[in-house]
Amino acid sequence: MITEALSGVAIGTIAGIVPGTHPNLLATLLASQSATLILATALAHTVTSTLALVYLWYPNEDTVLAQHPIAQLSARGLGHEAVKLLCLGNILGLTTATILTPFLLMALVVMHHTLAPYTVIIVTCLVLFFILHEPTISRKIGAVLVVILSGVLGHITLNSDITDPLFPLFTGLFGIPALFTQFAPRPPTRRQQPTDMVRPNLLQLATTVLGSIVSVSTLTLLPGMSVSQASLMSTFLLRIKKYTYLVLLGSTQTLDYYFSLLSAQTLGKTRNGALEIIGAHHFTPANQWLFISVLVFSTALATLATLYMSRHFPHIPHPRLLTIIVLALLFGAVLYISGHNGILVLASAASIGALPLLFKTNRTHLMSCLILPWLIRYGI
């Protein structure tokens, strides 16, 4: 098992620095391998994709809200500080949750039975909250349009016979628009220097980590809710400052795997794409601590690798050429996995995914591609 975990961390670390790759894509390609290898790969990718976010400005559906504080740090030559804050969140969130596992197992079951009768109402209210959270009327209108269009596309795609429909859907909604932003002019940035200038205090860290545990554990029980939405909720409720937000995001990323694992073991439900591909039947109370150990081990190794690579991350002389290559690879991957219909979904999703950039709205509204189909199925 250690060999499989090490192999998974190696694969995930290499893939994580490549823009456009996704843990679900890796899990799909490795579907015939062991649960340990897939889990370690997906988690290592999640941790090391921090480098693509900070140094290549490539966000995914979980990290779209982090671009502004990261851009501010990079402009000051403090990109490595952003990486450290994200990695600090990765470690603190998972370590704290692991210590609290017996309590969190009971809390998850109680919360499930408490919230289950009201899930449709809660999800609907959260969608409305995220829309109303937009600062201006025009952005609220844009958010409504994004919610409707992404929801309709998600409903059509998920009810089609396309192989692995989430791959072209998510790649189009989040990946392609993010890659096209690489062609836009960027603000000038200083040479990145490893420093120790950004230091959140202990009270901020404790509040952030505990807030992320509460938000992720709650949203784990709600269909279609993403890590970025959990981070947004915590930021709103706890008034988290801009740089501490990066700690929050790092924490929610690893906690997403942790609570998905607990949910699979106690409720038989997986909300994480990689765990869904592995299958909930692999995760039982008997091997609970085995897979939690894999989570901790993979996160620790991937974090060390990320911090090391951040100090030595090379300057990319032709980022637009890299973007074109990645776009071609994603197009080929979608065609190979999902066929010609997958390409249609990819193109449609990319068009909708560009709307938040046009309206300057939050890209978390695009998660309605999962929420609206669920509401149509269970709420109507």
Domain ranges of the chain: 2-378
Alpha-carbon distance of 102 to 36, in angstroms, equals: 22
pLDDT by residue for the chain (380 residues), tens digit each?
Answer: 789 999 999 999 998 888 777 787 788 788 888 889 999 999 999 999 888 888 776 666 555 555 567 767 776 777 888 889 999 999 999 999 999 999 999 999 999 999 989 999 999 999 999 999 898 999 999 999 999 999 999 999 999 999 889 889 988 998 888 788 777 665 555 555 656 666 677 888 888 899 889 888 888 888 888 777 777 777 777 777 767 888 888 999 899 999 988 988 888 887 777 887 787 677 877 788 889 999 999 999 999 999 998 887 766 656 678 788 888 988 998 999 899 999 999 999 999 999 998 998 988 899 899 999 999 888 66
User: What torsion do the CA atoms of 36, 37, 43, 45 make, to the nearest 10 degrees?
Assistant: 180
CA distances from 260 to 188, 264, 309 (A): 40, 6, 28
pLDDT at 43: 93
pLDDT at 284: 78
Q: Which phi and psi (to 5°) does residue 188 adopt?
A: -65, 140
Alpha-carbon distance of 154 to 367, in angstroms, equals: 9
pLDDT at 185: 62
pLDDT at 181: 75
Integer-rounded Cα Rg, in Å, for the chain is 19
pLDDT at 231: 77
Taking every pair of C-alpha atoms in the chain, what is the biggest distance, in angstroms? 54
**Closest listed residue to residue 20, CA positions, set 149, 181, 158, 253:** 181
pLDDT at 133: 87
pLDDT at 295: 93
- The token duo for 102 is 């017996």
CB 40 within 8 A of CB 15: no
